Amino acid sequence: MTKAYSTSRLNVYKNCDINDDELNEILDFVIASFTNNVVKYLPSYFNNIKTRHDANNWYKNMLEQSEFFIVKTISGNIIGFLFTFKDHDQINIAYLFKEEFWNKGFASEVLISYISFIKKTKTISKLVAGVTSSNTSSIKLLKKLNFTIENNTNSNTSFYSLIINSN
């Protein structure tokens, strides 16, 4: 794993050049952490991951479609993931955290630092996050970070964007 950026409580690693032990740690985290509450607002391929085989298939799928970041505490424990999907001049983001780490400011910390990170390293116009309308915690977080709602065509999912570079 290659460290992308750090905060006072977290290290965020780009999922590249991982060894077998790191892969096993990721797969174990997926199996243990993808509870019904954690994945209820996520696409169906996040559901029903119960075995190492399921976790490995999910992992390969995520590597194919996203830039995948692993969020660890300073002490080295995985607590969540950040996924980014480049789409022309914007980056679509998604994130998840193990339930025991909810409501502790970790998602906010990761996103604030990611925004700073991409401002220094990427040339994009905006970040976009799709959020199910019933996921009020994520909506509140995105609004706190100055994301604004876009015109939505899907009544179940709202899209929030943050202008990064208005060139």
Helix, strand, or coil here: 25?
helix
Dig out the tokens for 162 from the structure: 């943050």
Expressed as residue numbers, the domain containing 95 is 2-124
CATH of the domain at 16: 3.40.630.30
Percent of all residues in the chain with a pLDDT value above 70, rounded to a whole number: 96
Q: If DSSP states are collapsed to H, E and C, what string results for 105-149?
A: CHHHHHHHHHHHHHHHHCCCCEEEEEEECCCHHHHHHHHHCCCEE
Residue 143's alpha-carbon distances to 9, 19, 48, 140, 148, in angstroms, are 23, 37, 31, 5, 6
Could you read off the pLDDT tens digit of each residue along the chain, which spans 167 residues? Answer: 899 999 999 999 998 888 999 999 999 999 999 999 899 888 888 899 999 999 999 999 999 988 989 999 999 999 999 999 988 889 999 999 999 999 999 999 999 999 998 888 777 889 999 888 888 899 999 999 999 998 766 668 889 999 987 55
When divided into structural domains, the chain yields a total of: 1
pTM of the model: 0.90
Within a domain: 39:
yes
Angle at 149 between CA 153 and CA 88, to 5 degrees: 75
